[in-house]
């Protein structure tokens, strides 16, 4: 035990290094609120953060969900005397035993849900869509098959990304491949491509859920954000799909509704939900304001950026009306629970500060696994699901370090602007 003027602590750095030296706070993380930092007993910098970790005392006595202080300036790790006191009060059996191992790999590590981007191509040109600025291409069906091989524990696949999935010529081949392995398939669509033959294939393929984006009940406002989109065509498509499904005795797909709202449409959430329900939609997924992510803002047309000034108001209206929408439609969370889909546990608090912990994997059409669906640039060639198994990706030290930082609310630069970082 070492003492500084004010702090009793044990140097836990050698134990941390022996356990997983590669896990370390990103020094260039987005600054948190001042109160989130503590003084490091080693270097005295007011730059240390509490980190959750399982702690082993002696030969085999594990204490789950303990707390260490990790300095983001000098990198040293400490077990504070006050924390040892708390542990020993709860677990007298570890009193006096030395700290011998730590395990800070506490993020969700057994995903069964895969989001994968089938295409970046689209027949709409929504002005807020980053997909319009990405290379326009499709995933190769044979690469999709490699992903299935490399992620053998996947139970649900959402074919979703910055494009319209139904434009992919091999779309139903991929769905078939997944279904043949007993994998549930979900998708998000702009709802523009529900021809009779597509509707038949959707129902025959057993796609469980299709979420359809609707930004307004006014055809003019709809087309103003979903450029080249036709609201009535989308609504007619939903109705035709539901009618065919019901007339032919198919249970699936269930139809969900989502969308993006702005200041001039902020009060349209409930009217959209009513309108979609009247045409057959039954599940309320989510509505969002314009995404304030820094990487997205730079792609918005200049005249639209001022929409972000209204973000707090629009967000508050969405929160308020989403509650009411749940009296009209089933929530997507309830649907997933009913179906046994483990999707929405992201953002599990670590009890220390706002953090980010995804239970699902997001993969670009290049096969690159990214930290989340908002990160469109591959982060490492080692995280490619065409080339590597998910198990190998998860075992990669850089991948673990990325998850470690996100789990602990130490957000890298590329998260700047994401709503999850707002409370940091
Ligand atoms: C990227 S789209 C892809 C799937 C499909 N083509 C569609 O539009 O539904 C998925 C959803 O994200 C929303 N979205 C896309 N970019 C956005 C942004 N910059 N801000 C807010 N919402 C956005 C769209 O409104 C849509 O509901
Ligand atoms: S329909 Fe979807 S993918 Fe297409 S431009 Fe709009 S948001 Fe992007």
Ligand 2 in reach of 124 Cβ (< 6 A): yes
What's the gap in Å between 267 CA and the centre of ligand 2? Answer: 22
Q: What share of the chain is helix, strand, coil (3-state, %, to 5)?
A: 40, 20, 40
The residue whose C-alpha atom lies closest to atom 7 belonging to ligand 2 is: 129
Ligand nearest to the backbone CA of 259: 1
Instruction: Tell which atom from ligand 2 comes closest to the C-alpha of 163.
Output: 3
pLDDT in tens, the chain (424 residues): 444 545 799 999 999 999 999 999 998 899 998 889 999 999 999 999 999 999 999 999 999 999 999 999 999 999 999 999 999 999 999 999 999 999 999 998 889 999 999 999 999 999 999 999 999 999 999 999 999 999 999 999 999 999 999 999 999 999 999 999 999 999 999 999 999 999 999 999 999 999 999 999 999 999 999 999 999 999 999 999 999 999 999 999 999 999 999 999 999 999 999 999 999 999 999 999 999 999 999 999 999 999 999 999 999 999 999 999 999 999 999 999 999 987 655 556 788 888 888 889 999 999 999 999 999 999 999 999 999 999 999 999 999 999 999 999 999 999 998 888 877 7
* 126 C-beta closer than 6 A to ligand 2: yes
The pLDDT mean for the chain works out to 94
pLDDT digits over 207-253, tens only? 999 999 999 999 999 999 999 999 999 999 999 999 999 999 999 99
CA of 122, closest atom in ligand 2: 4
- The architecture that CATH gives domain 113-339 is Alpha-Beta Barrel (3.20)
Give 257 Cα–ligand 2 centroid separation in angstroms.
15
Ligand 1, pocket-test mutation among 118, 123, 128, 301, most atoms within 8 A of CB: 128
Asked if the bond preceding 157 is cis, omega within 30° of 0, the reply is no
Domain ranges of the chain: 2-103, 113-339
- Which of these, 349, 316, 345, 348, lies nearest to 333 by C-alpha position? 345
Instruction: State the Cα–Cα distance between residues 267 and 271, nearest whole angstrom.
Output: 8
List pLDDT tens digits, range 260-291.
999 999 999 999 999 999 999 999 999 999 99
Round to whole Å and give the CA distance between 375 and 295. 9
Ligand 2 pocket, 129 CB below 6 A? Answer: yes
Expressed in angstroms and rounded, the spacing between residue 64 Cα and the centre of ligand 1 is 40
CA distance 220 to 276: 17
Start-to-end C-alpha separation, the chain: 32
Q: Is the CB of 128 under 6 A from ligand 2?
A: no
pLDDT recorded at residue 354: 86
Distance, CA 372 to ligand 1 centroid (Å)? Answer: 15
Q: Is the dihedral of CA 46, 48, 50, 55 positive or negative?
A: negative
Tokens of 10: 């044990």
**Contact between 210 and 189 (Cβ < 8 Å):** yes
Say how far apart CA 368 and CA 81 lie, in whole Å: 43
By most ligand atoms within 8 Å of CB, the mutation choice from 115, 126, 299 for ligand 2 is 126
Q: How far is ligand 2, taken at its centre, from the CA of residue 361, in Å?
A: 21
C-beta neighbour count of 220 within 10 angstroms: 8
What does the alpha-carbon distance between residue 40 and residue 74 come to, in Å, rounded to a whole number? 8
Closest ligand 2 atom to residue 192 Cα is 1
């Amino acid at each position: 035990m070492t003492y500084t003027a004010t702090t009793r602590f044990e140097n836990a750095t050698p134990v941390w290094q022996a356990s997983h030296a590669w896990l370390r706070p990103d020094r260039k993380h987005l600054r948190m609120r001042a109160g989130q930092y503590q003084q490091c007993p080693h270097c005295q910098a007011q730059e240390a953060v509490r980190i959750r970790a399982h702690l082993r005392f002696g030969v085999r006595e594990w204490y789950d969900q303990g707390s260490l202080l990790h300095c983001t300036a000098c990198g040293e790790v400490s077990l504070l005397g006050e924390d040892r006191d708390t542990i020993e009060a709860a677990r007298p059996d570890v009193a006096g035993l030395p700290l011998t191992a730590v395990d800070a790999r506490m993020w969700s590590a057994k995903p069964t849900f895969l989001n994968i981007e089938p295409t970046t191509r689209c027949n709409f040109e929504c002005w807020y869509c980053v997909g319009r600025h990405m290379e326009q291409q499709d995933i190769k069906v044979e690469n999709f098959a490699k992903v299935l091989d490399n992620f053998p524990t996947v139970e649900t696949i959402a074919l979703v990304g910055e494009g319209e999935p139904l434009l992919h010529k091999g779309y139903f081949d991929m769905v078939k491949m997944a279904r043949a392995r007993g994998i549930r398939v979900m998708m998000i669509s702009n709802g523009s491509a529900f021809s009779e033959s597509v509707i038949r294939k959707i129902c025959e393929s057993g796609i469980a859920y299709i979420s359809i984006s609707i930004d307004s009940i006014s055809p003019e406002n709809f087309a103003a954000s979903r450029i080249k989109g036709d609201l009535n065509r989308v609504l007619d498509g939903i109705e035709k799909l539901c009618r065919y499904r019901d007339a032919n005795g198919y249970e699936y797909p269930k139809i969900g509704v989502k969308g993006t709202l702005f200041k001039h449409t902020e009060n349209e959430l409930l009217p959209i939900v009513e309108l979609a329900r009247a045409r057959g939609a039954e599940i309320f997924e989510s509505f969002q304001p314009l995404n304030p992510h820094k990487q997205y803002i730079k792609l918005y047309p200049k005249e639209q950026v001022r929409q972000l000034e209204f973000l707090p108001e629009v967000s508050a209206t969405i929160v308020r009306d989403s509650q009411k929408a749940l009296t009209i439609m089933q929530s997507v969370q309830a649907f997933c629970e009913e179906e046994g889909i483990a999707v929405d546990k992201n953002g599990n608090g670590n009890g220390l500060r706002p953090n980010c912990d995804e239970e699902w994997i997001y993969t670009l059409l290049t096969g690159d696994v990214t930290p989340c669906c908002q990160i469109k640039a591959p982060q490492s060639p080692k995280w490619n699901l065409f080339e590597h198994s998910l198990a190998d990706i998860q075992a990669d030290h850089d991948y673990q370090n990325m998850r470690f930082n996100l789990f602990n609310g130490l957000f890298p630069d590329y998260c700047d602007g994401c709503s999850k970082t707002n409370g940091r």
